[in-house]
A and B are shown apart, each in its own frame.
Chain A
Amino acid sequence: MTEGIPVLTVLSGMCLLGGGLLVILGSFGLVRLPDFYSRTHAGGITDTLGATLVLVGLAFQAPDWISLVKLLMIMVFLFFTSPTSSHALVRAAFTMGLRPRLDNQDFDEQLLDGEAENQSHS
Chain B
Amino acid sequence: MQQMYLILLAAICIAIVFSLVRALLGPSVFDRILAANSFGTKTVLLISVIGFLTGRPDFLDLALIYALINFVGVVAVLKFARYGTLAVSGNASDGSVEQ
A contact residues vs B (CB 8 Å cutoff): 9, 12-13, 16-17, 19-21, 23-24, 26-28, 30-31, 36, 39-40, 43, 46-47, 50-51, 54-55, 58, 61-64, 66-67, 70-71, 73-74, 77-78, 81-82, 84-86, 88-89, 91-93, 95-96, 98, 121-122
Contact status B1-A51, CB under 8 Å: no
Name the prevailing secondary structure of the B interface residues. helix
**Count: A-B pairs, CB below 8 Å:** 149
- The smallest beta-carbon distance between B52 and chain A, in angstroms, is 6
Residues of B within 8 Å of A62, CB to CB, are 57
What total of chain B residues lie within 8 Å of the partner, measured CB to CB?
Answer: 49
- The smallest beta-carbon distance between B33 and chain A, in angstroms, is 6
Enumerate B63-99 residues with CB–CB distance to A below 8 Å. 63-64, 67-68, 70-71, 74-75, 78, 81-82, 92, 94-96
Q: What are 7 inter-chain pairs, A to B, with CB distance below 8 A?
A: A27-B18, A27-B42, A28-B18, A43-B34, A70-B60, A74-B44, A93-B28
